[in-house]
Amino acid sequence: MPQTFAEKILAKKAGLSHTVPGQIVDITPDVALSHDNTAPIYGIFKEMGGQRVFDPKMHAVFIDHAAPAPTTKHAENHRIIRDFVREQGIENFFDVGRGICHQVLVEEGLALPGEVVLGSDSHSPHAGVMGAFGAGIGRSEMASIWAVGSLWLRVPESMKIAVNGQFNPGVTAKDLALKVIDDLGADGALYMSVEWHGEAIRSLDLSQRATLPNMMAEMGAKNSFIPPDQVTLDYLAGRAKRPFELVLPDEDAAYAQSYTYEAAAIEPMVARPHTVDNVMPLSEVAGTRVQQAFLGTCTNGRLEDLAAAAAVLKGRKVSPGTRLLIIPASSQVYLDALRAGYIETFLEAGAAIESPGCGPCMGNHMGVPAVGEVSISTANRNFRGRMGTKESEIYLASPAVVAATAVAGVITHPKDI
């Protein structure tokens, strides 16, 4: 019987010929991703009676959420993680400075087509950019995987989003993601597998493609999938850590919901405080005064994102009264941006550049806002209190819009500076 991506890959991993939505299957993931929460998960693992992890090769461990450590307590947390990976013989460990887990997993050739990535992080659907099944789970669930090697998953219903044609210049995957979240709502894909199809998706580079599954967490999705193509395979050549097999949905698979978008009809979009589905066209929020502009995160902290911002900032200065924070998503992105001259452009413009990691995205450190301040960010969440104080506001937009806003001091279209 014809199957969607989720139905097919979960059947394959469970050793079944097919699965149907609602079915519960027991899965051994190819990758078990954990970050700073590795330390508390290790505590739960021991509480469960765990001694040796089920398979050290399954693990990918990152220190990115509060890295480098802002307090002694955070540093203690990091130390527990280093002890854990040494004790358990975990090789895929990426310490302070390497970057954000979802980005580094891709760069390291550990997010592979036809594989299952379970992560104790809600943006784990990100791995779908490479044609993997990525889903977020809780800490206890991750500890249980470490102990027994498997976890139950419910086979999700599938949603198909087809995007035809070509995007207009200056319109990005971020704008498409915000448009879709605006249309379908914060629970529009609750428990679902969201597949992206169509010419406009195929025309995007991997960096922009990654923004789509990353942001589907904000629509409630379990996972999100972009069909691997030659672009994907070229990127993985010489990079993939092990052989892999593509899993593609069948042409005539049955989808619970299907939507079609015309890329040319998408315009720059901005999410307003305090929910990701509170979206307006950029033109309608332009002029809003902003004290802090933040370029980075797993959503939009890649080289192409920095390039878009550098194009706006070249020869310009950040507005007095506004701060611009730039955090490359990984050390590789940082190095590439340095070689391309973007870092020089950013420093000349007056930006502050921080070490790769999640930065202030969830309010830990490296540029949290003051009470009453307004931020614009390339991140994926703008919930009240997200960046540290509930008495502040967060707008979400694409890298070029964030850069233009830093220059103008008010939310601005890049063509208007």
In this complex, which beta carbon is closest to another protein, that of residue 141 or of residue 195? Answer: 141
Beta bridge partners of 212: none
Is 71 an interacting residue with respect to another protein (CB under 8 A)? Answer: yes
- With contact defined as beta carbons under 8 Å apart, do 325 and 354 qualify? yes
* CA 60 – CA 242 distance, rounded (Å): 14
Q: Which two tokens stand for residue 91?
A: 């090789």
Give, as ranges, the residues between 304 and 363 that touch another protein (CB under 8 A).
Answer: 362-363
Give, as ranges, the residues between 34 and 63 that touch another protein (CB under 8 A).
Answer: 36-37, 39-40, 43-44, 47-50
CA dihedral 192, 196, 197, 203 (to 10 degrees): 180
* CA 88 – CA 50 distance, rounded (Å): 11
Coil, helix or strand at residue 91: coil
Is 102 an interacting residue with respect to another protein (CB under 8 A)? Answer: no
Is 148 an interacting residue with respect to another protein (CB under 8 A)? Answer: yes
Is 152 an interacting residue with respect to another protein (CB under 8 A)? Answer: yes
Binding part of the chain for another protein, among 93-101, 199-207, 379-387, 399-407 by CB under 8 A, reads 379-387
Is 281 an interacting residue with respect to another protein (CB under 8 A)? Answer: no
In this complex, which beta carbon is closest to another protein, that of residue 164 or of residue 257? Answer: 257
Q: Which two tokens stand for residue 215?
A: 């942001």
- Single-letter amino acid code for the residue at 238: G
For residues 170 to 209, the per-residue mask of contacts with another protein, x marking binding by CB under 8 A and - elsewhere, is ----------------xx--xx------------------
* CA 363 – CA 207 distance, rounded (Å): 25
Tokens 């850069």 correspond to what residue? 403
* CA 26 – CA 13 distance, rounded (Å): 9
Is 13 an interacting residue with respect to another protein (CB under 8 A)? Answer: no
Residue closest to 407 by CA, chosen among 328, 284, 312, 337: 312
Choose, by CB under 8 A, the member of 3, 19, 224, 364 that binds another protein: 364
Question: For residue 209, what is the enclosing H or E element?
Answer: helix 206-216
Is 77 an interacting residue with respect to another protein (CB under 8 A)? Answer: yes
Q: What is the CA radius of gyration of the chain?
A: 20
In this complex, which beta carbon is closest to another protein, that of residue 274 or of residue 289? Answer: 274
Binding part of the chain for another protein, among 83-91, 218-226, 288-296, 342-350 by CB under 8 A, reads 218-226
How many residues bind another protein (CB under 8 A)? The answer is 52
Q: Give the binding site for another protein (CB under 8 A).
A: 24, 36-37, 39-40, 43-44, 47-50, 65-66, 71, 73-74, 77, 120-122, 124, 136-141, 143-144, 147-148, 152, 154, 186-187, 190-191, 218, 220, 222, 275, 277, 362-364, 381, 383-386, 388, 390
